[in-house]
Amino acid sequence: MTKFETQLRQTKALIKSAIILSRAPIRFIILGNDDTVLHALEAFVSEWPPHLRSRLTLSYRPVFIPEGWHLMDLYEKCATEKLFLPWVLPEFDAVVYMDTDQVFMRPPEHLTEHFKYFDKKQVLGVAPVDGFYMQFNTKARNNELWNHQ
């Protein structure tokens, strides 16, 4: 399976989890470096029942990295894109950024309800990492610290 196919499969699961758990309209803005992903997702969604399909809006925007930023030497484009959301999505005052390897376990509105607790100075909310990745990262960090003493 290619990286594109893996990302597409994960994105389908993410969108499906959001729409199944929510009763509200949902907008997904796909940020990527290949606009064919939008067509593939639209084809996938076109097979859904109308009552689900009518609540979903999909759109695509290319990844944006400002000139002079050399983050591509460290990470892939999509991994750094969340740093530039204010420039990529200037018309929105609040967004939830989801990587493709995530799914919703509760309705997305449970997450967006937290925006009402932000004051005028807050621009970012972060959720803790839990489970497999946290265990892996903690072990890796501990091993690194232990071996460098």
Listed as ranges, residues in the chain with pLDDT below 70 are: 1, 70-79, 127-149
Integer Cα distance of 5 and 53 in angstroms: 22
Please report the pLDDT score of residue 133 as a whole number: 53
Which residue from 92, 148, 93, 145 is spatially nearest to 120, judged by alpha carbons? 93
In three-state secondary structure terms, 30 is strand
Please report the pLDDT score of residue 130 as a whole number: 63
In three-state secondary structure terms, 147 is helix
What does 69-120 look like in DSSP terms, one character per residue?
Answer: --GGGTS-HHHHGGGGHHHHSTT-S------TT---SS-HHHHHGGGGG--T
Please report the pLDDT score of residue 27 as a whole number: 96
In three-state secondary structure terms, 67 is coil
Please report the pLDDT score of residue 149 as a whole number: 45
- Helix (H) or strand (E) holding 5, with range, is helix 3-21
User: Are 65 and 31 contacting, i.e. CB atoms less than 8 angstroms apart?
Assistant: no
**Domain parsing of the chain, residue ranges:** 3-147
